[in-house]
Structure 1
Amino acid sequence: MEALQGRRVVVTGASSGIGAAVVRAVAAAGGRVGLLARRADRLAALADEVGGHAAAADVTDPDAVTAALARLAGSLGGLDAVVAAAGTMHLGAVADTDPRRWREVFDVNVGGLLATAHAALPHLGEGASFVTISSMSGRRVPSAAGGVYAASKHAAHAVDETLRREAGARGVRVTTVAPGFVATDLMVGDAARDDVAAFRERMHDLGLTPEHVAAAVVHVLGLPPEVCVVEYALTSTAQQQQGDGAQRSSTRQQQ
């Protein structure tokens, strides 16, 4: 339960979903946590709960992320790991989707990841870790409706492979955690739509919990410094048995 005793970890997207679960899991494993997300009220409440430090910022604003991460590093007395859990999902066929949604997906899932890495790398030395919460959609396209989201996650995998070449050369461990369905409130903003409600029900019925993903992150972070997990892909046995299914909704994860 104390695999991360004293480790200083910043988590983005920390106010809900997988990010919040990672915050709690790291704290339970003995780590000291910095929380970064947009929603300052939720962030402050969770920071109080785990005895962590909070800094509100939108990952799509590189200057804000750099400043917030520097504040957290100062509060923690340095950094041993950063977990990039901020993300967004919009599902729908290319012909039926507002092009502004595509930009939002790439701004958060790719631009936000790059901004986080840019801000984090100066604070991470040999033996430190950079973990990206991606998706199994980063290795295949599950459906036409999931194509744009999958493209952003393919890009996220490419970013991590680049970071392994760049930061790995100086001993920073870069890991991509790629879950399948995860039962979160990802779709709360569009819950009245029948297609979104149907997908949300399927996701909750078949998905992992955020805590499953958080446990994977703690496992990765707790490994000896000479071990780097390149990619940690996980799915529920229920999803494995049923297959991915069609994805036809539009969603946004609240960071």
Structure 2
Amino acid sequence: MASLDGRRVVVTGASSGIGEAAARAAVAAGARVGLVARRAERLAGLADELGEAAAVGVADVTDAAALTDAVDRLAADLGGLDGVVAAAGTMHLGAIGATDPERWREVFDVNVHGLLATARAALPHLGEGASWVTISSMSGRRVPSAAGGVYAASKHAAHAVDETLRREAGARGVRVTTVAPGFVATDLMAGDLVADDGAGREDVAAFRERMHAQGLTPEHVAAAVVHVLGLPPEVCVVEYALTSTAQMRS
């Protein structure tokens, strides 16, 4: 694992899944981390585990003002920022014609508006050689099914946000990387319906079982994040796409 000795990294979505694994991996590699999520109890438990290497900022990424306050406080507590891992995300699956529009709004609020709010809060603290990492998805590169169309649209938007950040922040030496995993065994998925290309339906429990059986672990993705964060400042990985061999065989 790459060394992150002395680096100061904020992780959003740090209370579970890839964000939690990335926070743990960054600390194991020598970093100090600022943990951001809306679930205060879970953040407090992780902070207790990580000890003095962690600071906590409770905020929902969809609340831009609260998120900015949290990031500013963490940057002050850590003495600056060298990196951000934007790992907050959500997933609702279902055919467009069969899904409550409120579900679409939730997906875009977290996966797109939350990403933009995180960037707006963090960019003033990032300078030459700093790293920005977005946890996106292989669904940001293609639409896997009709059921995944809205989620894929949000992740295509996340890729576009990162391309914009490369133009905006890259000019001053901030490295912007999109990490795009396939299936990951997390509890990201919510909702109550999965439509298989509009031809048939299966319940969420069955899809979740398949995702957990075939997916990468959060720790696999966290290792990719630490690798990217630990690269020399003159190196920028534009996109790091990864999938499990089990999913490739399916």
- TM-score, length-normalised on structure 1? 0.92
| Aligned ranges 1:1-255 → 2 under 5 Å | 1=1, 3-51=3-51, 52-187=54-189, 195-242=203-250
Distance 2:73 2:101 in 1: 35
Letter in 1 for 2:210: R
**Do the aligned residues in 2 keep the contact of 1:11 with 1:23 (CA within 8 Å)?**
yes
- What's the CA shift for 1:241? 1.1
Identity within the alignment, % = 82
Task: Tell me which residue corresponds to 1:246.
Answer: none
Q: Deviations over 1:21-43 (max 9, x none)?
A: 00100000010010000000100
| Secondary structure of 1:224's aligned partner | coil
**Do the aligned residues in 2 keep the contact of 1:2 with 1:30 (CA within 8 Å)?**
no
Q: Deviations over 1:170-194 (max 9, x none)?
A: 0000000000000012347869xx6
Structure 2 residue runs without a partner (length 5+): 194-201
Q: Deviations over 1:50-99 (max 9, x none)?
A: 12000100000110110000000011000000000000100000000000
**Do the aligned residues in 1 keep the contact of 2:90 with 2:189 (CA within 8 Å)?**
no
Task: Tell me which residue corresponds to 1:253.
Answer: none
Q: How many residue pairs end up in the alignment?
A: 241
Letter in 1 for 2:10: V
Task: Tell me which residue corresponds to 2:196.
Answer: none
Letter in 1 for 2:158: A
CA separation of 1:157 and 1:57: change in aligned 2, threshold 3 A = same
Letter in 1 for 2:77: S
Letter in 1 for 2:23: V
CA RMSD in angstroms, aligned pairs only: 1.5
Task: Tell me which residue corresponds to 1:251.
Answer: none
Task: Tell me which residue corresponds to 1:252.
Answer: none
Letter in 1 for 2:207: F
Moved over 3 A (4+): 187-191
**Do the aligned residues in 2 keep the contact of 1:134 with 1:153 (CA within 8 Å)?**
yes
Q: Deviations over 1:84-143 (max 9, x none)?
A: 000010000000000000011111100000000000000000000010000000010000
- What's the CA shift for 1:48? 1.4
| Secondary structure of 2:57's aligned partner | strand
Distance 1:124 1:43 in 2: 24
Letter in 1 for 2:221: V
| Secondary structure of 1:144's aligned partner | coil
Structure 1 residue runs without a partner (length 5+): 243-255
Q: Deviations over 1:144-163 (max 9, x none)?
A: 00000000000000000000
